Structure 1
Amino acid sequence: MTMVEIHRGSSPVVLAFPHTGTEVPEDIAARLNDEGRVLRDTDWHIHRLYDGLLKDATTVRATFHRYCIDANRDPSGESLYPGQNTTGLVPVTTFDDVPIWRDGSEPSEDDIAERVERFHRPYHEALRAEIERVRGAHGIAILYDCHSIRSQIPHLFEGVLPDFNIGTDNGRTCDPAIERAVAETCAGADGYTSVLNGRFRGGWTTRHYGEPGTGVHAIQMELAQVTHLARETPPFDLDPVRTERLRPVLKTLLSQIEALAPSLSEAPR
């Protein structure tokens, strides 16, 4: 099993996909219960949604499922959102708080440590290497972390999630020009809703790598799945009409981010 798929491009933009993988090794799959095997909390088809939108972007994609280990969580196990409902480094429930492991099969501390080395570390070693390669070529790297989530999950948030959920850890992880370009594009997209640093302010990937002072900028996009799926329930198929409508908006914001790179690389740090 290949843990990470990498496509190297010449753009200053790196697209990361930590949650689109659906591979679960047999030793782990055997411990999942019927609900766990549905893989409900996958970022379904997000790598397909972004495919080709920015021709020369580098992409780094985890092939393993987040139920093996969540590549967008702190490997120490520290919560991203203290005091709020969320899932951990190795989830024990779905986003709906439904158990995913067979009775007596929940991962132990030893299991978690093994999975950090088996899955989490290789993904982030690959992502870090690509960020460094891109920064070496351009003097700057812009990491755009690609995500999706169901639009209604009462256990995690009230009501209906906006379509575009932009996370910069309250402006800490990227230059204001990047944040502004993405926020303005989303706010101006006809028929869509958006929020900046709302319920989702950026996961561990965005917070860990985003250091504008070093030339590495990071931003997370959490798309409500209603924007591109036919249904937010199995079989989680892409809706071609919704996808065709959404892709131009994503293409515009990625192109704007890329266009900002030369000026940002020349800015004093």
Structure 2
Amino acid sequence: MMDWLQVTRGDAPLVVSFPHTGTDIPPDIEDRLVSPWLARKDADWWIEKLYDFAPGLGATLVRTAVSRTVIDVNRDPSGASLYPGQATTELCPTTTFDGEPLYKPGHEPDAVEIARRRRTWFDPYHAALAAELDRLRAVHPRVVLYEAHSIRSRIPRLFEGELPNFNIGTNSGASCDPLLAEAVEAACEASDFSVVLNGRFKGGWTTRHYGRPEEGVHAVQMELACRGYMDDPDTPPAPGAWPTPWDPERALFMRHALHRVLDACLDFAGA
């Protein structure tokens, strides 16, 4: 595979996708940005570490090392908003979640560049994801696609107040069998963390695009509030203070809960 696209193959009927853990930005793009730190602020920090037990369960992992500022592989490639009427970011974001401009004036990507970035990174990522789903679907009656995400607990521009710890998205029930959604929700509720199903985050483009339960592919997105596994300030972070360091002990209880969640996905797929 290409060095920015990492695929770890397993044989269990579970694919875990990591679309936003990357921080790589090509120099020709980074030179046009207001701040390299700002461009990496909204990464899903430490998620690949949080789920590093998944290969031991037989799961397949698909991850891009490229920053979502370059291109967001979980956005509709047509440019259509996933949440019409609500604040969000684009296929090639021009602002942070907090609304700060990412590019120096006049240096934002135009339509030609967006199309180039899509061909270079978006299309290969989804070709790999689709290939792994097809490979597993050929030998399993049901396969679960699990989208692993995280976000700061408080971002007033995107949502009011504080997010629950577990934000499960199934495109309002369209992307998976209700039994899978119930099993994932129950696994979360067995912990001391707060849970919501199809709240502010109902699943991104990947969940909506691949979730075809009638064809045996069941997709669910898990958006974690960062405070469940890392220090997460109540106020917008500043350079040098974010991300807070990875701490395995701080993340231990969340890891236990997520292990139960992936076990529930495997139980459903193998049932």
Letter in 2 for 1:32: L
Letter in 1 for 2:210: Y
Letter in 1 for 2:194: T
In the alignment, the residues of structure 1 paired with residue 198 and residue 243 of structure 2 have an alpha-carbon distance, to the nearest angstrom, of: 30
Match in the other structure for 1:125: 127
Q: Which of 65, 68, 73 is the equivalent residue of 1:66?
A: 68
- What do residues 47-103 of structure 1 show as CA deviations (whole Å, max 9, x unaligned)? 110011451100000110000000000110010000000111111100000001111
In the alignment, the residues of structure 1 paired with residue 44 and residue 132 of structure 2 have an alpha-carbon distance, to the nearest angstrom, of: 22
Contact kept, 8 Å, 2:38 with 2:96, in 1: the verdict is: no
Match in the other structure for 1:78: 80
In the alignment, the residues of structure 1 paired with residue 247 and residue 159 of structure 2 have an alpha-carbon distance, to the nearest angstrom, of: 25
**Which region of structure 1 is more displaced relative to structure 2, 4-13 or 181-190?**
181-190
- Could you state the TM-score of these two structures normalised by the residue count of structure 1? 0.94
Contact kept, 8 Å, 2:166 with 2:196, in 1: the verdict is: yes
Task: Give 1:104 shift.
Answer: 1.1
Q: Does 1:140 align with 2:142?
A: yes
Match in the other structure for 2:93: 91
Q: How does 1:212-251 map to 2 (within 5 A)?
A: 212-232=213-233, 233=237, 234-251=242-259
Q: How does 1:40-189 map to 2 (within 5 A)?
A: 40-53=41-54, 55=56, 56-189=58-191
Query: 3-state DSSP class of the match of 1:138?
Result: coil
Which runs of 5 or more residues in structure 1 are unaligned?
Answer: 264-269
In the alignment, the residues of structure 1 paired with residue 198 and residue 142 of structure 2 have an alpha-carbon distance, to the nearest angstrom, of: 23
In the alignment, the residues of structure 1 paired with residue 201 and residue 38 of structure 2 have an alpha-carbon distance, to the nearest angstrom, of: 26
- What do residues 177-216 of structure 1 show as CA deviations (whole Å, max 9, x unaligned)? 11001111212312x1110000000000000000000010
Match in the other structure for 2:208: 207
Task: Give 1:172 shift.
Answer: 0.6
Task: Give 1:9 shift.
Answer: 0.2
Contact kept, 8 Å, 1:6 with 1:61, in 2: the verdict is: yes
In the alignment, the residues of structure 1 paired with residue 48 and residue 102 of structure 2 have an alpha-carbon distance, to the nearest angstrom, of: 25
In the alignment, the residues of structure 1 paired with residue 36 and residue 27 of structure 2 have an alpha-carbon distance, to the nearest angstrom, of: 16
Q: Which of 254, 262, 266 is the equivalent residue of 1:258?
A: 266
- What do residues 110-154 of structure 1 show as CA deviations (whole Å, max 9, x unaligned)? 111111001100100000000100111212211000000000000
Query: 3-state DSSP class of the match of 1:113?
Result: helix
User: Number of matched residues?
Assistant: 262
- Could you state the TM-score of these two structures normalised by the residue count of structure 2? 0.93
Query: 3-state DSSP class of the match of 2:61?
Result: strand
In the alignment, the residues of structure 2 paired with residue 79 and residue 203 of structure 1 have an alpha-carbon distance, to the nearest angstrom, of: 10
Contact kept, 8 Å, 1:14 with 1:59, in 2: the verdict is: yes
Task: Give 1:229 shift.
Answer: 1.5
Query: 3-state DSSP class of the match of 1:241?
Result: coil
Task: Give 1:36 shift.
Answer: 5.5
Task: Give 1:15 shift.
Answer: 0.2
In the alignment, the residues of structure 1 paired with residue 203 and residue 29 of structure 2 have an alpha-carbon distance, to the nearest angstrom, of: 28
Tell me the percent identity: 49
Contact kept, 8 Å, 2:13 with 2:270, in 1: the verdict is: no
- What do residues 155-184 of structure 1 show as CA deviations (whole Å, max 9, x unaligned)? 000000100000001111011111001111
**Which region of structure 1 is more displaced relative to structure 2, 195-204 or 98-107?**
98-107
Letter in 1 for 2:90: G
In the alignment, the residues of structure 2 paired with residue 17 and residue 6 of structure 1 have an alpha-carbon distance, to the nearest angstrom, of: 10
In the alignment, the residues of structure 1 paired with residue 209 and residue 33 of structure 2 have an alpha-carbon distance, to the nearest angstrom, of: 30
Contact kept, 8 Å, 1:18 with 1:71, in 2: the verdict is: yes
